[in-house]
Homo-oligomer: A and B are copies of this chain.
């Protein structure tokens, strides 16, 4: 079996780790996550903040039994403050993958930002970037048809955690189960499987195994969703320049 593909080797998070301000990196509590692990939104009754070092997280809202919606996926470099979630038991933050996050009490985090302009700018930019991504996700769920929604999701992953292969080709691991993807996109799981088959049959992608997606023609895939262009320009600023 080949070694698991990891974006850390060559992808975005390698760029990102160079940009995390040292003061934030030093003062967080390093939490090793396992897939499916819930990250508590309070710590001793106090608000928390998480900075994603190396993992994919899902912020999810449960409105009632069987009404769960994935709100935002968080990638390396992203931040989550528990006040971003509505108060109450329906909000939770889950690590979808094994990985590492930095955890802070909000008060301590806030003091770090007050004394470090770089950390402040980092936090503000991460929040803005996530807000832009969440807006695109909302527009996709509200306005796009099933195929467009799934393509939007695949383009989001390709942009955020994809590892570039040969020209126009990108590989990434699916951090969500079929049911979780369906929940994130507001689709039913059978519809999802049917569209995925069609994309495979059309030669746009293949799946070496259930969890891996190999996009064979990113441009052709992206052309299937009107949200692709926004998503691809909303990726991390430090990814937009040429790679060294």
Give chain A's interface residues, CB within 8 Å of chain B.
59, 61, 63-64, 67-69, 71-72, 81, 83-88, 90-91, 110, 114, 117, 120, 124-125, 127-129, 131-144, 185-186, 226-227, 229-231, 233-234
Q: How far is the CA of A186 from the CA of B59 in the complex (A)?
A: 22
Q: List 25 A-B contacts (CB under 8 A).
A: A61-B135, A61-B138, A61-B139, A61-B230, A63-B139, A63-B143, A63-B226, A63-B227, A67-B144, A72-B135, A81-B128, A84-B132, A85-B131, A85-B135, A86-B135, A86-B136, A86-B231, A87-B132, A87-B233, A88-B233, A114-B117, A114-B120, A137-B138, A141-B186, A142-B186
Nearest B residue to A234 by beta-carbon distance? Answer: B86
Which residues of chain B are within 8 angstroms of A124 by Cβ–Cβ distance? 110
Q: How far is the CA of A93 from the CA of B195 in the complex (A)?
A: 34
Nearest B residue to A117 by beta-carbon distance? Answer: B114
Given A139-B61, A139-B63, A144-B67, does the pair A85, B226 have CB atoms closer than 8 Å? no
| Least CB distance, A149 to chain B, in whole angstroms | 10
Q: Is the CB of B63 within 8 A of A230?
A: yes
Q: Is the CB of A132 within 8 A of B85?
A: yes
Nearest B residue to A120 by beta-carbon distance? Answer: B114
Which residues of chain B are within 8 angstroms of A114 by Cβ–Cβ distance? 117, 120
